Structure 1
Amino acid sequence: MNFFNNQKKLTVFDRVVLAVNVLAGLALMFSYLAPFINPRYFWLVGMAGLGYPFLLPANAIFVIFWLFRRSRWVLFPVVFLVIGLPWVSQNYGLKNFCPLSSNPPKENLRVMTYNVHGFRALDKVIGTPVPDEMAGIIHSSRPDIVAIIEFNSIKADQGAIYRSLQRSLGLNHYYFKPHENDEWDSTGIALFSRFPIIRSGFVAPSPQAPETEAVFVDLSISGKVTRVYGIHLQSVRFGFAQHKFLKQLRPLNRGGVKEIGIITDKLRTAFSRRSHQVELIKAHMRRCPYPYLVMGDFNDTPMSYSVNRIGEGLTNAFAEKGSGAGITYHRDFMPVQIDYIFTSKQFEVLSYMVVGKKLSDHFPIVSDLRMR
């Protein structure tokens, strides 16, 4: 028995659906190119990569539609989906979920990265400081090493903040490199460690990437040296008006068209700057003589050039042991994964978890590792 109805002609509605299916399929194919093409030269491909979380389920819906219609056109979206199968595991955790151990062996290494939004609560225009609550989240995860992104310290009481975090976290060694300084406070990346720091530094910016924010520490772990990078790639820097527009998504008017133009321009600028930054960071990583891991806020999705450029030759902790969509940024209308943990091949990933606590605009992520 032939499942497909060969005698049935396409209705006008079918033809409209087919046209939309063709466009959605081609857009999905375009998104598959985003990890390979530097958006500095062709920024539209970066936009296609951002659309992947919508384009993938859209094509799956077309499969269901054409199956219901018993039409051979079902092969069209099926082919597009099959071509992109290698990318599914980068965006959705499909392997066996391995929860964090409550009592991990001493030889395991638990690492964590958390963008704390300057220790400000998300539900305020001018956020209420919540460092104790955020430190509590970190403490309950019991990391050996944590990268705190957008760490903010008041200069007048800087030492007290460090001592407080050291007491609450039990991580006695730290390195903080301010990225932004003013008269009152400093903001940047702080790396806290249970292990002694034998060397620390940062990736020097270049004229093409003056805002590069990447720091590292070399740690003495069981007599061996391991390097840990903490990075914060270029933010899109949406203002209040853009966040409000994306959250409400009202019908377009003149103001809405203006906001779309501003959003597009900010995205294009961020794509280009991140591409410069990842080249600097990748060059620094290639010169590293030790096993290393890199974690932080990449400000880009799994279908992006910057994430895949950093991840070349490395192990993605989420792809190895993650579950579901791995969402780490939950603001606006489109929650996405933009925080990552990558390791060199000397490490085995044992577990991965997104800590679903909404204090910052980011969720912290934690992974257990073991040296091979």
Structure 2
Amino acid sequence: MLTLKKFFQNTFLFFNLLAIAGLLMSYLSAKISPAVWWVPAFFGLAFPYFLLVNLLFMVLWVFSKTRFAILSFLAIAMGYGHLNHYIQLSGRETTEEGLVISSYNVKNFYGEVDTKEDNVANEILKYLQSKEADLICLQEVTTSGQRRFTQQKSKLSHDSGLKFVHASKTGGPVSYSRYPIIAKDEVHFENSANMILISDLLIDQDTIRLFNCHLESYRFTDAEIRSLDSLSFDKQEESLRKVRYTGSKLKQAFIKRTEQAEALHQLVQDSPYAVIVCGDFNDTPVSYTYSKAAQGLEDAFVNSGSGIGNTYVGKLPSFRIDYILHSPVFESYNFKVDRVVFSDHYPISCTLKKKIQ
């Protein structure tokens, strides 16, 4: 006869196995294109939660059935390489001069809660000037008819001695450089307002290709986010409709970003120069988007960051979605996520130095 203790133990094990399955599925999200099979992408988005649940199960089993603790331990060990994309215990710093890079999604200078106040742009300007960066990559900058941006770009260029290049028509990414900009191009994605801004820079005697990227977002409005917060078991039909709608938006964004990340990877592969890739990928490190975009490149946070690398202030997608990647000819130092709340993203920065051959 099944004892009560055995029943709870089996139930506990069942939910542990579900958590393990979820964690393993999240690993697949970095390997399988959502255009081929989109289901793992949802699990990849929840990787940190599956990880924490498995850690909890592992600890709890230690006090009852120790041999079962190895199940979650093995599942976590299989994806150990993903952990350092979310958290770093010690950074790599230097006081020597190098190429200082800053990347920031400024949300059209509207502030975290769409205040549309000019002082938000002024605060961002002060912040950028304080960084004394050699390269600045901004995302979500509306250029057409945007008085706020027109004022700030001229101030930033004049006060900091930076040259700038921006998208020709639609707005979007804007790049500033302390070094000569010798060529410019832009890649617009089909059926999307997102794009990649490309700049060739003459830095000392070397030409460097800079990619300033803003990949497909989920396009959730504040009202839709609040609607998800109000899900209720008392209104199951309405809640189910909201969940389906949210899932549909996520799926569409996963698939669009797949195409964009593959296009970015091909552009990097085709570059005759060493590259720096900055921007808002709108996806977490355990994703096909990140694994494809970062293929063959170094991640500045992984190599020189410290602490938790989350860059998004909002709820979805949470965690780390903004990146600075670079060719292996560089070494990164002093990676920082500055917790200033002038946007729904945190700005990131690092220092690059060319490796001594």
Whole-Å separation in 2 of the counterparts to 1:276 and 1:122:
29
Against the structure 1 CA distance between its residues 306 and 333, is the aligned structure 2 distance closer, same or farther, given a 3 Å change threshold? closer
2:33 equivalent in structure 1: 38
Whole-Å separation in 2 of the counterparts to 1:114 and 1:72:
47
Against the structure 1 CA distance between its residues 369 and 93, is the aligned structure 2 distance closer, same or farther, given a 3 Å change threshold? same
1:220 alignment partner, SS class: strand
Against the structure 1 CA distance between its residues 346 and 24, is the aligned structure 2 distance closer, same or farther, given a 3 Å change threshold? same
What is the aligned counterpart of 1:352 among 335, 339, 345?
Answer: 335
What is the aligned counterpart of 1:300 among 268, 280, 283?
Answer: 283
Q: Aligned runs of 1:331-346 on 2, under 5 Å?
A: 331-332=314-315, 335-346=318-329
What is the aligned counterpart of 1:215 among 188, 197, 219?
Answer: 197
Structure 2 portions without partners, runs of 5+: none
Query: Which amino acid is 2:110 matched to?
Result: R
Whole-Å separation in 2 of the counterparts to 1:194 and 1:54:
41
Q: Aligned runs of 1:320-335 on 2, under 5 Å?
A: 320-332=303-315, 335=318
**CA contact under 8 A between 1:203 and 1:280: conserved in structure 2?**
no
1:340 alignment partner, SS class: strand
- Give aligned-pair identity as a percent: 27
2:173 equivalent in structure 1: 189
Whole-Å separation in 1 of the counterparts to 2:345 and 2:82:
23
Query: Which amino acid is 2:275 matched to?
Result: Y
**CA contact under 8 A between 2:164 and 2:175: conserved in structure 1?**
yes
- Once the two structures are TM-superposed, the CA of residue 343 in structure 1 deviates from its matched residue by 0.2
Against the structure 1 CA distance between its residues 212 and 149, is the aligned structure 2 distance closer, same or farther, given a 3 Å change threshold? closer
2:110 equivalent in structure 1: 120
1:155 alignment partner, SS class: coil
- Once the two structures are TM-superposed, the CA of residue 153 in structure 1 deviates from its matched residue by 3.4
- Once the two structures are TM-superposed, the CA of residue 136 in structure 1 deviates from its matched residue by 1.3
Query: Which amino acid is 2:282 matched to?
Result: N
What is the aligned counterpart of 1:57 among 46, 52, 57?
Answer: 52
What is the aligned counterpart of 1:98 among 79, 92, 114?
Answer: 92
2:214 equivalent in structure 1: 232
**CA contact under 8 A between 2:228 and 2:242: conserved in structure 1?**
no
1:137 equivalent in structure 2: 127
Query: Which amino acid is 2:87 matched to?
Result: Y
- Once the two structures are TM-superposed, the CA of residue 67 in structure 1 deviates from its matched residue by 0.5
**CA contact under 8 A between 2:91 and 2:303: conserved in structure 1?**
no
Whole-Å separation in 1 of the counterparts to 2:125 and 2:332:
25
Query: Which amino acid is 1:105 matched to?
Result: E
Whole-Å separation in 1 of the counterparts to 2:146 and 2:32:
46
- Once the two structures are TM-superposed, the CA of residue 354 in structure 1 deviates from its matched residue by 0.1
Q: Which moved more, 1:329-338 or 1:68-77?
A: 329-338
1:11 alignment partner, SS class: helix
Against the structure 1 CA distance between its residues 212 and 128, is the aligned structure 2 distance closer, same or farther, given a 3 Å change threshold? closer
What is the aligned counterpart of 2:273 among 276, 282, 290?
Answer: 290
1:201 aligns with 2:185: yes
Q: Aligned runs of 1:1-80 on 2, under 5 Å?
A: 11-80=6-75
1:259 aligns with 2:254: no
Whole-Å separation in 1 of the counterparts to 2:337 and 2:155:
25
**CA contact under 8 A between 1:151 and 1:189: conserved in structure 2?**
yes
Whole-Å separation in 2 of the counterparts to 1:110 and 1:259:
44
TM-score with structure 1 length normalisation? 0.88
Query: Which amino acid is 2:92 matched to?
Result: C
Q: CA RMSD in A?
A: 2.1
Whole-Å separation in 2 of the counterparts to 1:120 and 1:294:
25
1:5 equivalent in structure 2: none
**CA contact under 8 A between 2:106 and 2:345: conserved in structure 1?**
yes
Whole-Å separation in 1 of the counterparts to 2:345 and 2:206:
32
**CA contact under 8 A between 2:275 and 2:326: conserved in structure 1?**
yes
Q: Which runs of 4+ in 1 moved over 6 A?
A: none
Whole-Å separation in 2 of the counterparts to 1:17 and 1:179:
57
Q: Which moved more, 1:51-60 or 1:63-72?
A: 63-72
Whole-Å separation in 1 of the counterparts to 2:61 and 2:169:
53
1:279 equivalent in structure 2: 262
Whole-Å separation in 2 of the counterparts to 1:142 and 1:136:
10
Against the structure 1 CA distance between its residues 356 and 251, is the aligned structure 2 distance closer, same or farther, given a 3 Å change threshold? farther
1:164 equivalent in structure 2: 155
- Once the two structures are TM-superposed, the CA of residue 211 in structure 1 deviates from its matched residue by 4.3
Aligned residue pairs total 350
Structure 1 portions without partners, runs of 5+: 1-7, 181-186
Query: Which amino acid is 1:72 matched to?
Result: R
Query: Which amino acid is 2:323 matched to?
Result: Y
Whole-Å separation in 2 of the counterparts to 1:210 and 1:156:
21
